Amino acid sequence: MLFLREIVYRRWNFLLGTLGMITAVAVVVFFVIMTKASQNETRILTRDMGFNLRIIPDSTNMNDFWIRGYSQRTMPQKYVNVLVDKKAIYYAHLTATLHQRIRWEGLDVILTGISPDELNPKGKKRTKMIFAVPPGKVYVGYEIAVARKIRRGDTLSILGKTYVVERTLAETGSEDDIRLYFDLNDLQHLLHKEGVISEIMALNCVCSAEGDDPLGDLRRQLQADLPDAKVIMNRTIAVARERQRKMLDNFFAVLLPVLLIVTALWVGTISMINVMQRSQEIGILRALGFRTGRITALFFARVAGMGLLGAVLGFALGTWLALAYGPQVFKVTASSVKPVYSLLGWSLLLAPLFAAIASLIPVMLAISREPAVMLKEE
């Protein structure tokens, strides 16, 4: 075919154009894979900052709440299931807790019961954010363990019942260091508070909020579902999580147009050089009776070849770079750095089209000139 012979004859020009397409496709593929990995990494890291929502009884005295660190009021444990059944998309990792401060072994400690499961809106699965204490066991906060020289396997008598120490926890620098953690059912029975909880810990997962503060949406939804409860948000964690997510989205949104413009200029320049080199050849072809459509098809077949070859090689190169360097950057979620094979299909579709659009102006200029004028040029 004529365009294949033309590619072989002007192979260096073709290779330079193809190199531009390879670079563009490779960078797009690389950044798409890395952006997905970065989003996963950010999600895990910000998740590990802890729960940022606390749902407590509406009758809670907030002054007393902040002094004690928990509500002395209780609410039904079934409130967790209400949020789950309502498919509350603004809440995730719903964890029921019960708290009670007591004097134990000469120390002021906080007894905390944690539900064994973290519930989410139906159909949504999440990795667990906090530990689950086995029934009959207890986790001991750092300061308590140090003060009473408690180790794993020891037995503790608490309010007349015996529990085995499953784990002593690392220092957190917070009131968690003076907590004794129980399975929620165990603590409910111990305190004779069956079926009630102090609060529901949750994670804000609003990704559709217009601004950086989704608290209004959260409260409106809770008011509709649980009018006897109120929600408190740790704004620092919530805003940092949301801004980090938006920053990553905006970064790629800015980078992609810049990359496409640079590639378009590259391919367009290569096509212009090709047209200038072939001006007399085009003039001869037109003088011999070759129609404008056939000459145009010759040029566009050439740039389409650039796009197809660039799509395949660019996808392979971008994927290889992401798999080679992604796990070194995103160590927490290294396993999530995987090929996105759907990008190959999009590359094969869009790269030839993009190359053709980038070459449109040079080709139109070439075919619009008079053959006599082109034959006079040397």
Rounded CA separation 119/94 (Å): 5
pTM: 0.58
- Kindly report the backbone phi and psi dihedral angles of residue 61, in degrees, each rounded to the nearest multiple of 5, phi listed first: -80, 110
- Kindly report the backbone phi and psi dihedral angles of residue 119, in degrees, each rounded to the nearest multiple of 5, phi listed first: -95, 150
Residue 94 neighbours by CB under 8 Å, 6+ apart: 80, 83, 84, 118, 119, 120, 200, 201, 202
Rounded CA separation 2/266 (Å): 24
Whether 322 shows a pLDDT value over 80: the answer reads: yes
Whether 177 shows a pLDDT value over 90: the answer reads: yes
Both tokens of residue 232?
């408190």
Element (DSSP H or E) covering residue 111: strand 107-114
The alpha carbon torsion through 236, 242, 248, 249 (nearest 10 deg) reads -160
Whether 10 shows a pLDDT value over 60: the answer reads: no
Instruction: Between 154 and 361, name the one with better pLDDT.
Output: 154
Query: At 126, is the secondary structure helix, strand, or coil?
Result: coil
pLDDT at res. 115: 92
pLDDT at res. 206: 47
On average, the pLDDT of the chain sits at 77
Instruction: Between 79 and 277, name the one with better pLDDT.
Output: 79
Considering only CA atoms, which of 119, 116, 118, 117 is closest in space to residue 133? Answer: 116
Lowest mean pLDDT among 59-73, 104-118, 175-189, 364-378: 364-378
Mean pLDDT of 209-231: 71
Query: 23, 262 in Cβ contact below 8 A?
Result: no
pLDDT at res. 42: 63
11-47 and 292-329 are packed helices; what angle lies between their axes, rounded to 10 degrees?
40
pLDDT at res. 140: 96
Considering only CA atoms, which of 186, 178, 188 is closest in space to residue 137? Answer: 186
Number of C-beta neighbours around residue 217 at 10 A? 16
